[in-house]
Amino acid sequence: MKAIISLEDGRSFNCRSFTGPGEAWGEVVFNTSMTGYQEVLTDPSYSGQMVTMTYPLIGNYGINPEDIESDRIQVSAFLVKEYQDFPSNFRSTSTLADYLKAQGILGIEQFDTRALTRHIRKVGAMRAFITTHDIDSASCIKRAREIPGMAGQDLVKEVTTKRPYYWAQEKPVYIGKNVPLSKNIWKYRGSKNSVVAFDFGIKYNILRCLEYAGFEILVVPATTSAETIKLIEPDGLFLSNGPGDPEPVSYAIKTIKDLLSYRPIFGICLGHQLLALALGGKTFKLKFGHRGSNQPVKNLLTGKVEITSQNHGFAVDIDSLNGKNIKITHKNLNDNTLEGFRHRELPIFAVQYHPEASPGPHDSRYLFNDFVHVPNG
């Protein structure tokens, strides 16, 4: 089925939908991973975005229920060079097209993804509109320009859990609506380290890694207050990944600020940015972001280079942390942006990349072990 992709700067691409009729809109970005399209689709950090895969053949190993990162597809559209409708993998239970269609997500193929990627690299990530209905570039460009930009939007509220839940044996177990949150909420108190994970758009594999590290995990909504956290009395606090601009998530920044000296804190991705803002730092929007599983990061503490998976469009201004009692621990070797820091006195640390995603494959797993053994105040 014929379709068109129109960008806010006036450029359009003729293409084809492999999921039937529909429309989609959002910020169009690209991901350089060769595999992992199912994880990309279900990563809440992609909320509000249409993702272009730079690897040309997508769909060849199908879809399976084990590799999802959340309870639904999070991207607003999925753009590929060539869709493969006949998957070959012993774990596959459905095709990519059927998976997308079941959740009403538009899948697009048969256009020059390399040209789109090069354009985004040159001009920057931008708003785009896709349709199979009215193949008219002028009207579609107008629609693209009417889409709200990512900066200034609080997208966390769109993806955070509505109810607290335990993560146990690789699945969520929701707490009863009338069960009060207090220190009595823990089932294994004393035999396991307990951690409250703030859900800003958390990925399931992060929770799996925390569970494998030996934590008892309680996941709470992003709006949970510092007062409630202190009633729960966890051993540590985890700040998750999530979508969009960190600055509008002011309620979380305030809560983190109130908890800085309360318990050890570990942040990943958006959690890294929110923690930096709570410590007095600043963030900025990257031109086209870091999205892929081949980002080189240097650990300044060990001198080693880690191959990392990343997905973010904003970053922490490294200079804004000067004079904040912060030690810089990791830098991106492509553009020297900040990838990790630790507080010099408080048991607080964070990284911008995703240590749970295993592109190295285990270059960054030590961070979860560090969280287990970080001194408590």
* Residue whose tokens read 């990791």: 330
Q: Could you confirm whether 354 is annotated as catalytic?
A: yes
Q: Which DSSP string do the residues of 70-124 spell out, in sequence order? A: SSS---SEEE-SEE-SS---TT--B-HHHHHHHTT-EEEESS-HHHHHHHHHHH-
Averaged pLDDT, groups of 10, the chain, 377 residues long: 96 97 96 95 97 97 95 97 96 98 98 97 96 90 92 94 93 90 89 94 96 95 97 97 97 98 97 98 96 95 95 97 97 97 97 89 87 76
**What are the structure tokens assigned to 122, written together?**
């040159």
Q: How large is the greatest C-alpha to C-alpha distance in the chain, in angstroms? A: 64
Which pair of tokens denotes residue 189?
A: 């108190």
Q: Are 329 and 345 in contact (CB under 8 A)?
A: no
Decide which of 145, 178, 193 is a domain's last residue.
Answer: 145
Distance CA 266, CA 237 (A): 6
Cα–Cα distances in Å, from 175 out to 77, 165, 167, 188, 308? Answer: 33, 5, 11, 15, 34
Residues 125 and 165 in one domain: no
Identify the CA nearest to 355 among candidates 344, 369, 341: 369
One domain for residues 321 and 172 = yes
- The residue annotated as part of the active site, out of 27, 216, 339, 356, is 356
The answer to whether 252 touches 55, Cβ cutoff 8 Å, is no
Q: State yes or no: is 15 an active-site residue.
A: no
Residue 150 within a domain: no
Q: Looking at the structure, do residues 109 and 160 belong to the same domain, yes or no? A: no
User: Are 37 and 122 found together in one domain?
Assistant: yes
Tell me, yes or no, whether 122 and 160 share the same domain: no
Stated pTM of the model:
0.96
Residue 151 lies in a domain: no
Domain range enclosing 52: 2-145
Check which CATH number belongs to the domain holding 212 and give it.
3.40.50.880
Asked if residues 25 and 5 have their Cβ atoms less than 8 Å apart, the reply is no
Domain presence at residue 130: yes
Q: Is 183 found in the same domain as 57? A: no
Whether 140 and 222 share a structural domain: no
Give the neighbor-by-neighbor strand order of the sheet with 193-199: 171-174, 165-168, 215-221, 193-199, 236-239, 265-268, 348-351, 338-343, 326-332, 283-299, 305-316
Q: What is the distance between the alpha carbons of residues 183 and 163, in angstroms, rounded to a whole number?
A: 17
Known catalytic membership, residue 356: yes
Catalytic residue among 39, 216, 269, 339: 269
> Residue 349 falls within a domain, yes or no?
yes
Rg of the chain's alpha carbons, rounded to an integer? 21
* Spatial distance between the Cα atoms of 206 and 315, rounded to a whole number of angstroms: 20
User: Are 327 and 342 contacting, i.e. CB atoms less than 8 angstroms apart?
Assistant: yes
Total domains in the chain come to 2
In DSSP notation, 279-292 reads TT--EEEEEEEEEE
Q: Provide DSSP, 12-50.
A: EEEEEESS-S-EEEEEEEEE--SS-HHHHHH-GGGTTEE
CATH code of the domain covering residue 51: 3.50.30.20
